Amino acid sequence: MGIFDFLKGEFIDVIHWTDDTRDTMVWRFEREGHEIKYGAKLTVREGQAAVFVHEGQLADVFTPGLYMLETNNMPIMTTLQHWDHAFQSPFKSEIYFVNTTRFNDLKWGTKNPIMARDPEFGPVRLRSYGTYSIRVTDPARFLTEIVGTDGEFTMDEISFQIRNIIVQEFSRVIAGSGIPVLDMAANTAEFGKIVAEAIDPVIAQYGLSIPELYIENISLPPAVEQALDDRTSRGIAGNLNDHMRWKAAEAVGKGGGAGDAMGAGLGAGLGMAMAGNVMQQGFGGTTQTMGPWGMTQSPAAQPAPPPPPVEHVWHIAENGKTTGPFSKARLGQMAAEGTLKRETYVWTAGQDGWKPAGDVQELAQLFTIMPPPPPPGV
């Protein structure tokens, strides 16, 4: 290389980065010997930040714009003055470009089920998954805490740590929410906001933020989901007897093949049951049974007798005092003795207030064995 080419390379330096990937978060500008020249032009595009590291220390952060670098590191001077370093400057500077745009459609999910207490089902195990987006909000902190001296840092190198933080906070929120499992689908947006707010202080220490977090699904174990499906099916079916009759009639009405044979069998079974009911009613209390040797008859089961009527006991009110309880037989003796009269007030359980004994239908017959009092004036 000629002396003029050497000097031209020393005087001209343009620093910029155009990202052609979808997952690069930090990229270091590669310059031979890491020599950033005095007066070099630095171009920082929208969605980027540039972190200037001078002599091993973080010197400045550049936001989008065009800058002329003027630092203590002047390679053209040091190269000409330090022959003992073989034209290599002992002062080193580096530029790290940081992508500050959102990284979207990142996946998260629970590796193991989350134990929670449901108000309706009791202890349950829940799984969940969703997506989130992340962005760098503090390039300097992100570089010092996470990237270090990595020349090309991608999203995959930190996504595992972010997923662990999301799952931890989600488990805490979902287990302590007290919301029934059947109502969680209606509250996924609120859960996402709560989890994102809980995560922000943690990932802010890395210079990151989570603008969006979505919960796509909260699911139960397959066996529990199958039980819920069965419960829903029973609710839709309504009355099970009517449902079975309708299914049997539908099977009988289908034509062709094995399904028809099965339907015919169900229809035959229902027909036999209906015929048995008719025969039972038509043979005077006997049951007709078809056996291998013909029709046999057996006495039909007799219905159980009705329960005996409940006997009432009665209370009597006289002179502001109540006595009793008395059985109906005892009241009959008192009516015969004259101590119970038609105008005597009585009460029993289920009766609406006190009534004269003569107005109570059940007790009125006690006074028919004796003649009523004579009419006035006779």
Q: Is residue 171 part of a domain?
A: yes
Listed in sequence order, the DSSP H helices in the chain are 3-11, 75-81, 139-142, 156-176, 188-204, 222-237, 240-253, 257-282, 328-337, 361-364
Please check whether residues 117 and 197 belong to one and the same domain: yes
Cross-strand pairs, 242: none
Please check whether residues 86 and 151 belong to one and the same domain: no
Q: Which residue has the tokens 């909000």?
A: 137
Nearest partner of 69 among 30, 36, 28, 29, judged by Cα: 36
Residue 328, number of CB atoms within 10 A of its CB: 15
> Can you give the pLDDT at residue 370?
57
Strand order in the sheet with 321-327: 321-327, 313-318, 345-347, 355-356
Please check whether residues 89 and 8 belong to one and the same domain: yes
Per residue of the chain (378 residues), what is the pLDDT tens digit? 454 454 444 444 788 898 888 889 999 987 766 666 667 788 999 999 999 887 778 888 999 999 887 654 444 434 434 434 443 444 567 889 999 999 999 999 988 888 888 887 888 888 899 999 999 999 999 998 888 878 888 998 888 889 999 999 888 888 888 888 888 888 888 888 888 888 899 999 999 999 999 999 888 888 877 877 777 776 766 666 776 777 777 777 665 444 454 544 545 455 555 445 544 444 445 555 555 555 555 555 667 777 666 677 778 888 778 887 888 778 778 877 777 888 888 888 777 788 887 777 777 777 776 555 666 665
Please check whether residues 46 and 119 belong to one and the same domain: no
> Can you give the pLDDT at residue 301?
61
> Can you give the pLDDT at residue 91?
53
Residue 302 to residues 9, 240, 284, 287, 306, Cα–Cα distance (Å): 116, 28, 12, 12, 12
CATH number, domain containing residue 339: 3.30.1490.40
Please check whether residues 64 and 26 belong to one and the same domain: yes
Q: Is residue 239 part of a domain?
A: no
Where b means 16+ CB within 10 Å and e means fewer, 77-89 reads: ebbeeeeeeeeeb
Beta strands in 69-137 (DSSP E): 93-99, 103-109, 114-118, 122-136
Please check whether residues 70 and 22 belong to one and the same domain: yes
First to last CA, the chain: 158
Q: Is residue 297 part of a domain?
A: no
Please check whether residues 53 and 146 belong to one and the same domain: no
Rounded to 5 degrees, what are φ and ψ at 359?
-90, -5
Tokens of 101: 């745009």
Nearest partner of 334 among 94, 98, 247, 325, judged by Cα: 325
Residue 287, number of CB atoms within 10 A of its CB: 14
Q: Is residue 339 part of a domain?
A: yes
Cross-strand pairs, 156: none
- Identify residue 304 by its one-letter amino acid code: A
Q: Is residue 262 part of a domain?
A: no
pLDDT in tens, 314-349: 788 887 788 878 887 787 788 777 778 888 888 887
Please check whether residues 127 and 90 belong to one and the same domain: no
Please check whether residues 58 and 111 belong to one and the same domain: no
Please check whether residues 120 and 188 belong to one and the same domain: yes
Q: Which domain holds residue 11?
A: 3-99
CATH number, domain containing residue 111: 3.30.479.30
Residue where one domain finishes, among candidates 58, 77, 99: 99
Taking a C-beta distance cutoff of 8 angstroms, is the pair 99, 19 a contact?
Answer: yes
pLDDT in tens, 213-230: 999 988 888 887 787 777
Q: Is residue 80 part of a domain?
A: yes
Residue 8, number of CB atoms within 10 A of its CB: 11
Q: Is residue 259 part of a domain?
A: no
Q: Is residue 157 part of a domain?
A: yes
Please check whether residues 108 and 59 belong to one and the same domain: no
Residue where one domain finishes, among candidates 165, 197, 224: 224
Please check whether residues 85 and 123 belong to one and the same domain: no
Residue where one domain finishes, among candidates 82, 99, 116: 99
Q: Structural domain tally of the chain?
A: 3
